[in-house]
Amino acid sequence: MNPTAATESRRTPERPDSGDGERTDAPGDVRGEAPGAAPADGGIEAALERLPSRLRQAVEPHADRLDIGMIADAYAFAEEAHSGQKRASGESFIVHTTEVARILAELHLDTVSIVAGLIHDTVEDTSRTLDDVETQFGEEVARVVDGVTKIGKVQFRSATEQQVENYRKLLLSMASDARVILIKLVDRLHNMRTL
């Protein structure tokens, strides 16, 4: 995909393309670098200020290689989509997606992984669609979010059948994009820590 086209495809009409571009890494290159994007609305510092403090602290040391504007847009997208939703623990749903993204950032993963971590539940648990994700954030983010969503959807008749299918899906996902597996593992990790 043309880097300029990728950037233009995820920009909203009211936010013009800043010309920051976006590196498209091979599907499994989870630590690929993206440029430290200077959003049209005031730069990296302004975008960092739009993030909750724990996520901001996790991405700030790596801001030079991340598209902070895109991450801030993803946080706003997830916050709006999950507005009013609560988890079984009683906390606001956005806390979960933010913590998933924070852990991914602490693992020094790329922009696509952090963005997908923020919005991984929007397609499954809100009225947002995969097309909405692709329009806002591009095809690569949509593909990763779709993979994370599909991993948890299959229903099985027996525990053995489920285990075999889970391993099969794990291997297939890893072959196409390791970020899908990492995001799902971090999602489950945060669930185990908090529920």
Please give the positions annotated as active site. 124-125
Phi (first) and psi of residue 92, to 5 degrees: -60, 140
- Which residues share a beta bridge with 92? 86
Residues across the chain: 195
Which residues have a Cβ under 8 Å from the Cβ of 72 and sit 6 or more positions away?
Answer: 39, 47, 48, 50, 51
- Taking residue 26's Cβ as centre, other Cβ atoms within 10 Å add up to 8
Q: Which two tokens stand for residue 165?
A: 């299918």
Distance between CA 183 and CA 186 in Å, rounded? Answer: 5
Which residues have a Cβ under 8 Å from the Cβ of 39 and sit 6 or more positions away?
Answer: 15, 18, 20, 46, 47, 68, 69, 72
